[in-house]
């Protein structure tokens, strides 16, 4: 090993703490990049492989009752590669040991052939035997939630009949990677099940022999999906079709998309912050480090070393630091990335996981880190190298300090010389001071970005559960019910109040923008479930016109007073008596004004007066479900009674939903927040520690002189600590501003058709972020202070600068 | 004498090592210009031990730095043998230092993270015909401190490591800037002994800067500096051995 390389190694040992601090910040950037991109790619790759292998459909549609031959008509649509028709119905489940009824989506499986589309992955057991009305294959999550093994039994109310079912198989389906029950905000595997049963058995139970009510299509590559949907709608219209939709509107797919979008925005926003900070940190530290090595550089030149050799020597130092950072980052990123992917795999239901990162992301992370490091160092190496050796070896000229402009103020005259030293030092190096402030501010901003989501979610919970949807429970019906069902519900035990709602599938059009969604009709003066305006104040439904959520207004490019076309997809006229022979009327379109824009964090909400809605549909009043207030001491009786109501498909309890919501968020958010807090602390610590060490190395003679002059250790530290304190104090308000910006960007990144996050940052979040930054800064400053205390003043003064 | 030769470009007798004609050096330090050298002429001969005397700021270090290729002259010419150093490029200066010149500085300038042996190896690794680091350290009487780090050695020892490092590549010239400046007289003597023995045993042309009049007695010739000029030159009729020097 050459003498120069030995020097390098020993320099590394000497500088380990500073080098490690830089390496860790750099590692944070690499970690977040690999973590986010890795999880994103793994999740996307897993989903697409799952879709591919299990033939997930492209277009979905439901109808009331379509005869079998319609399937052949559908196959003739240009661009359709395959079709899979089935029967699907909601069923209330009665599970032993569970008071509350659960809900299942029962789907038929062809008896004598394999599924063409949406194939299921059998984890255990088998599919139900043809014609068996008592056999069922259930989804794995539901089985796990109830500890159901093969042979387990529960009851289901299928078309009004309570039937015992035996679990013969446990499976997963690409249709239900994210499996959420009707009316739920978040998956609750205890309360919602996917049930697969024999087609013959289901046809008999639901009186759908030779007919189907749900169809999925696989399209040919390059097929025009919009055109297929239009033709499919035309075909199904007469059979009570409710509007076909693509993957974009398939709930499971859409939820994963929203999650992927968030991961993507995380990969785009967070890692650059870290890389930026580490680049800056490396720049200030290495600039200083190399400035301190100025003499040695001069000496090496005096000894006849070539510039390139010396440059390579210092570049090796930078590369070494970067390498340490990259290695730590790669290991941590890979490890955390796998953890995050597993977390997703738990939350979503995949039969297998593909960890996909790709060498490119490692190469990009390493390349960017190395480049920022080298860029940070090169300039200072270059400066040192261009000095003639004699100049490099002689001590640099004393730094030129200026009088402070503000020194003319009386106030300043009262400051001690030590305080003035600190202030002048900051002002002397404005760029460095500003960058240090920015670095510290970045760590605070990151904390705010990590913590504000808790505020937003708390606010969202309060708005949804305590301001808007204040009902205790929501009862959904399998099909629209005549209004008289309200009396029945009202008379159920424990029910205190009832508020009906009606949900109608429509397509809203404005210009060339259109969107398939549901209009919810509510009675005037509804008090359990309220609609809130953009300031979260309850609003009355107008007698005519629509209330659109902000998201819908944005998607359709409409504002208050604009007219929108409402194409009614859900035609329930004559419901219950509809059979193969009944012929529906042409799908009708109405034109309605936008009466107002309202707040809604979930889904694509559009509201309308219930009476106006019924009038628009030109039909006898029916309801899709009811919101109820209940006497919570009588829930047992209520549940029991509901389990006996054939029309009910699901009952969602607000309390349970909220608990589940919090539980899920707690897991997901705690992990992410912890990661971010750790990373922020690393930044704050790294920046403050390095900046203190740099100061110390620059001013060691100054400090030693002060000690010689009789200043105490405390007084000498005061100069250094005061300067850091001023920088940190300046950084905190900046952190608030930047954090506000990052948080805002995050909210934008989160927004999807499924949910949007309110932009709320509580003062607590600011305070906690400031305190964490302060604590990290204090700890690192105190570590450096110890070095001042141990300062060997004689040695410091004897050596040349 | 120098005036008359000004136009006879590089016409130097074989035993001339350095020739300097009208060299000036101006430092620009923001508000004022400092004239470190204002027209210096000088000749150094092969095997000579010269002492450059003068108060601080008199220009002797600046001249030495220019002779050693550590700094560039503002004006004037200087030759090393037949080569005009004032015309060399940055990389030619590097080669020149690497191949011909050894330096000793007041503050040793050892690399703190390298041991004595390794500090010397720093130079021997890039030289064409070096002695072994151990041999060089033996010449300055440090064969027993090979693996000590600079921080573990006294000032005199450190300076002798610096001398060993400077001579290990068998340079033709050894340039010393206040080699005893940071040392007491007893350790200073050891350093001077090392310098004179190198001069005698290896025949290395040696220039020593000092502001210590007493040290001038060990030289063949003495140059007095003042205000960026050579004010007086004389040859010692009788040289004094380093151990007889007192200060």
Domain locations along chain A: 88-207, 407-472+653-801, 495-630
If you average pLDDT over every residue of chain B, what do you get?
A: 85
Helices A700-708, A713-750: inter-axial angle, 10-degree rounding:
150
Using an 8 Å Cβ cutoff, are A298 and A392 in contact? yes
Distance, CA of A329 to CA of A334 (rounded, Å) = 8
Distance, CA of A14 to CA of A606 (rounded, Å) = 66
Domain boundaries, chain B: 47-69+97-244
How far is Cα of residue A219 from the mean position of the Cα atoms in its chain?
Answer: 30
Q: What confidence tier does B2 reach under pLDDT thresholds 50, 70, 90? A: very low
Of the partner residues B71, B99, B127, the one whose CB lies closest to the CB of residue A388: B71
Distance, CA of B26 to CA of B38 (rounded, Å) = 8
Distance, CA of A420 to CA of A429 (rounded, Å) = 14
* Least confident among A237-241, A641-645, B51-55: A641-645
Distance, CA of B99 to CA of B119 (rounded, Å) = 17
Q: Return the residue matching tokens 């601090």.
A: A21
- The encoded tokens of residue A588 equal 């009708």
Instruction: Identify which of A678, A682, A625 has the alpha carbon closest to the alpha carbon of residue A651.
Output: A625
- pLDDT for B111 beyond 60: yes
Chain B environment of A305 (Cβ under 8 Å): 94, 98, 126
Q: Is B244 helix (H, G, I), strand (E, B) or coil?
A: helix
Beta-sheet strands, E only, within B153-204: 173-177
- Residue in chain A closest to B151 (alpha carbons) equals A795
Strand partners, A63: none
Confidence at residue A575, expressed as pLDDT on a 0 to 100 scale: 40
Number of Cβ within a 10 Å radius of residue A189? 20
Confidence at residue B85, expressed as pLDDT on a 0 to 100 scale: 92
Distance, CA of A592 to CA of A616 (rounded, Å) = 10
- Arithmetic mean of pLDDT, A37-50: 88
Q: What confidence tier does A753 reach under pLDDT thresholds 50, 70, 90? A: confident
Confidence at residue A578, expressed as pLDDT on a 0 to 100 scale: 38
The kind and range of the H/E element at A94 are strand A88-94
Tell me yes or no: is domain B47-69+97-244 CATH 3.20.20.190: no
Query: Does B114 contact A305 at a Cβ distance shorter than 8 Å?
Result: no
- pLDDT for A345 beyond 80: no
Q: Which of A305-309, A592-596, A792-796, B125-129 has the highest mean pLDDT?
A: A592-596
Instruction: Identify the sign of the CA torsion A400, A405, A407, A408.
Output: positive
In terms of phi and psi (left: phi > 0; alpha: psi -120 to 50; beta: otherwise), the region of A510 is beta
If you average pLDDT over every residue of chain A, what do you get?
A: 85
Q: How far is A18 from chain B (nearest CA, A)?
A: 17
Using an 8 Å Cβ cutoff, are A116 and A104 in contact? no
Using an 8 Å Cβ cutoff, are A727 and A425 in contact? no
Q: Mind listing the pLDDT tens digit for each residue in A61-111?
A: 999 899 999 999 999 999 999 999 999 999 999 998 888 889 999 999 999
- Residue in chain B closest to A393 (alpha carbons) equals B109
- Arithmetic mean of pLDDT, A158-166: 90
Beta pairing, strands A538-539 & B101-104? unpaired
Number of Cβ within a 10 Å radius of residue A122? 16
A512 or A182, higher pLDDT: A512
Q: Which residues does B9 contact at the CB level (< 8 Å), separation at least 6?
A: none
Q: Which residues does A159 contact at the CB level (< 8 Å), separation at least 6?
A: A89, A205, A206, A207, A646
Q: What percent of chain A has pLDDT over 70?
A: 93
What does the buried/exposed string (b/e) look like for B189-226 if buried means 16 or more CB atoms within 10 Å of the residue's CB?
Answer: bbbbbbbbebbeebebbbbbbbebeebbbbbbbbbbbe
Confidence at residue A47, expressed as pLDDT on a 0 to 100 scale: 92
Q: Mind listing the pLDDT tens digit for each residue in A485-496?
A: 888 889 999 999
DSSP string, A703-749: HHHHHHTT--HHHHHHHHHHHHHHHHHHHHHHHHHHHHHHHHHHHHH
Chain A environment of B62 (Cβ under 8 Å): 390
Interface-testing mutation among A6, A303, A311, A801, with chain B (most B C-beta atoms within 10 A): A303
Strand partners, B75: B24
Q: How far is A695 from chain B (nearest CA, A)?
A: 21
**Residue A167 phi, psi (nearest 5):** -75, 120
Q: What confidence tier does A241 reach under pLDDT thresholds 50, 70, 90? A: confident
Confidence at residue A801, expressed as pLDDT on a 0 to 100 scale: 40
Chain B environment of A304 (Cβ under 8 Å): 94-99, 101, 123, 126-127
Of the partner residues B30, B91, B122, the one whose CB lies closest to the CB of residue A4: B122
In terms of phi and psi (left: phi > 0; alpha: psi -120 to 50; beta: otherwise), the region of A768 is alpha
- Residue in chain A closest to B177 (alpha carbons) equals A390
- pLDDT for A402 beyond 70: no
Q: How far is A17 from chain B (nearest CA, A)?
A: 17
What number is the ipTM of this complex? 0.71
Chain A environment of B99 (Cβ under 8 Å): 304
Q: How far is B237 from chain A (nearest CA, A)?
A: 34
Query: Does B119 contact A3 at a Cβ distance shorter than 8 Å?
Result: yes
Confidence at residue B84, expressed as pLDDT on a 0 to 100 scale: 93
- Residue in chain B closest to A397 (alpha carbons) equals B29
> What value does the CA radius of gyration of chain A take, rounded to a whole number of Å?
34
């Amino acid at each position: 090993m050459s003498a120069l390389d030995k020097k390098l190694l020993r320099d590394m040992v000497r500088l380990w703490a500073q080098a490690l601090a830089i390496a860790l910040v750099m590692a944070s950037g690499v970690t977040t990049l690999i973590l986010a991109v890795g999880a994103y790619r793994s999740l996307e790759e897993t989903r697409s492989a799952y879709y591919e292998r299990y033939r997930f459909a492209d277009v979905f549609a439901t109808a009331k009752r379509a005869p079998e031959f319609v399937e052949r008509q559908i196959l003739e649509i240009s661009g359709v590669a395959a079709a899979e028709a089935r029967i699907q119905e909601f069923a209330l489940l009665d599970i032993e040991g569970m008071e509350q009824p659960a809900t299942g989506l029962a789907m038929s499986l062809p008896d004598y052939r394999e599924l063409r589309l949406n194939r299921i992955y059998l984890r255990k057991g088998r599919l139900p035997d043809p014609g068996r009305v008592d056999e069922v294959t259930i989804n794995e999550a539901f089985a796990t939630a109830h500890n159901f093994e093969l042979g387990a039994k529960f009851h289901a109310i299928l078309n009004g009949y309570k039937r015992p079912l035996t679990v013969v198989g446990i499976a997963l389906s690409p249709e239900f990677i994210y499996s959420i029950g009707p009316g739920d905000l978040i998956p609750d595997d205890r309360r919602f099940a996917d049930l697969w049963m024999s087609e013959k058995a289901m046809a008999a139970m639901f009186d759908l022999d030779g007919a189907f009510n749900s169809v999925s299509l696989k399209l040919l590559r390059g097929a025009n999906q919009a055109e297929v949907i239009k033709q499919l709608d035309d075909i199904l219209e007469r059979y009570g079709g409710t509007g076909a939709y693509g993957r974009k509107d398939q709930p499971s797919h859409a939820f994963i998309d929203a999650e992927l979008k968030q991961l993507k925005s995380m990969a785009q926003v967070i890692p650059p912050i870290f890389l930026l900070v580490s680049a800056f940190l490396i720049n200030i530290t290495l600039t200083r480090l190399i400035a301190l090595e100025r003499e040695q550089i001069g000496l090496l030149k005096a000894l006849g070393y070539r510039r390139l050799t010396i440059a390579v020597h210092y570049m090796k130092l930078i590369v070494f630091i970067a390498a340490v950072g990259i290695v730590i980052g790669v290991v941590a990123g890979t490890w955390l990335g796998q953890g995050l992917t597993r977390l997703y795999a738990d939350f979503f239901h995949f039969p297998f996981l593909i960890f996909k990162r790709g060498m490119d992301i490692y190469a990009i992370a390493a390349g960017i880190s190395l480049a920022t490091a080298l860029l940070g160092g090169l300039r200072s190496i270059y400066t040192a190298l261009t000095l003639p050796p004699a100049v490099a070896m002689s001590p640099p000229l004393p730094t030129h300090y200026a009088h402070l402009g503000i020194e003319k103020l009386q106030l300043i005259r009262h400051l001690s010389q030590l305080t003035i030293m600190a202030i002048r030092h900051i002002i002397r190096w404005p760029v460095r001071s500003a960058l240090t402030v920015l670095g510290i501010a970045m760590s605070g901003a990151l904390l705010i970005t990590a913590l504000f989501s808790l505020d937003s979610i708390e606010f969202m919970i309060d708005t949804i559960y305590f301001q808007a949807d204040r009902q205790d429970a929501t009862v959904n019906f399998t099909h629209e019910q005549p209004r008289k069902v309200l009396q029945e519900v009202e008379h159920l035990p424990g029910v205190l109040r009832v508020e009906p709602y009606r949900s109608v599938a429509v397509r809203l059009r404005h210009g060339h923008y259109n969107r398939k969604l549901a209009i919810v009709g509510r009675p005037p003066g509804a008090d359990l479930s309220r609609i809130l305006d953009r300031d979260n104040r309850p609003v009355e439904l107008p007698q005519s016109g629509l209330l659109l959520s902000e998201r819908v207004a944005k998607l359709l490019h409409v504002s208050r007073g604009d007219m929108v076309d409402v194409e009614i997809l859900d035609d329930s006229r004559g419901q219950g008596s509809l059979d193969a022979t009944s012929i529906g009327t042409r799908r009708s379109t109405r034109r309605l004004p936008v009466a107002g824009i309202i707040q809604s964090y979930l889904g694509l909400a559009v509201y309308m007066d219930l009476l106006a809605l019924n009038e628009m549909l030109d039909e006898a009043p029916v309801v899709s479900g009811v919101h109820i207030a209940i006497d919570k001491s009588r829930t047992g009786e209520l549940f029991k009674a509901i389990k006996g109501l054939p029309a009910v498909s699901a009952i969602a309890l607000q309390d349970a939903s909220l608990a589940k919501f919090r539980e899920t968020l707690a897991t997901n958010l705690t992990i992410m927040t912890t990661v971010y807090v750790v990373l922020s602390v690393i930044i704050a610590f790294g920046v403050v520690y390095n900046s203190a060490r740099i100061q110390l190395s620059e001013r060691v003679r100054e400090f030693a002189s002060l000690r010689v002059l009789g200043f105490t250790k405390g007084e000498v530290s005061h100069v250094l600590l005061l300067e850091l304190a001023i920088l940190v104090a300046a950084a905190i308000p900046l952190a608030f501003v930047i954090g506000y910006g990052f948080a805002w960007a995050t909210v934008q990144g989160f927004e999807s058709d499924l949910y949007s996050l309110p932009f709320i940052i509580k003062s607590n979040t600011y305070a906690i972020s400031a305190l964490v930054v302060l604590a990290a800064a204090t700890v690192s400053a105190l570590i450096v202070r110890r070095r001042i205390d141990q300062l060997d003043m004689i040695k410091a003064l004897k050596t040349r600068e | 004498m120098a005036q008359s030769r000004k136009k006879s470009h590089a016409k130097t007798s074989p035993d001339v090592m350095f020739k300097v004609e009208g060299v000036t050096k101006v430092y620009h330090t923001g508000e004022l210009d400092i004239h470190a050298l204002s027209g210096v002429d000088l000749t150094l001969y092969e095997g000579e031990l010269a002492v450059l005397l003068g108060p601080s700021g008199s220009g002797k270090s600046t001249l030495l730095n220019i002779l050693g290729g550590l700094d560039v002259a503002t004006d004037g010419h200087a030759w090393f043998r037949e080569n005009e150093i004032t015309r060399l490029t940055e990389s030619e200066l590097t080669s020149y230092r690497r191949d011909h010149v050894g330096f000793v500085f007041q503050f040793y300038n050892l690399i703190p993270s390298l041991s004595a042996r390794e500090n010397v190896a720093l130079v021997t690794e890039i030289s064409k015909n070096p002695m072994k680091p151990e041999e060089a350290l033996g010449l300055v009487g440090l064969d027993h401190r090979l693996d000590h780090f600079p921080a573990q050695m006294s000032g005199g020892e450190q300076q002798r490591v610096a001398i060993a490092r400077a001579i290990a590549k068998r340079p033709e010239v050894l340039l010393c800037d206040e080699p005893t400046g940071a040392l007491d007289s007893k350790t200073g003597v050891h350093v001077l002994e090392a310098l004179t023995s190198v001069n005698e045993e290896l025949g290395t042309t040696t220039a020593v800067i000092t502001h210590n009049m007493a040290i001038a007695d060990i030289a063949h010739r003495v140059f007095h500096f003042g205000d960026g000029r050579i004010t007086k030159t004389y040859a010692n009729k009788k040289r004094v051995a380093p151990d007889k020097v007192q200060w």
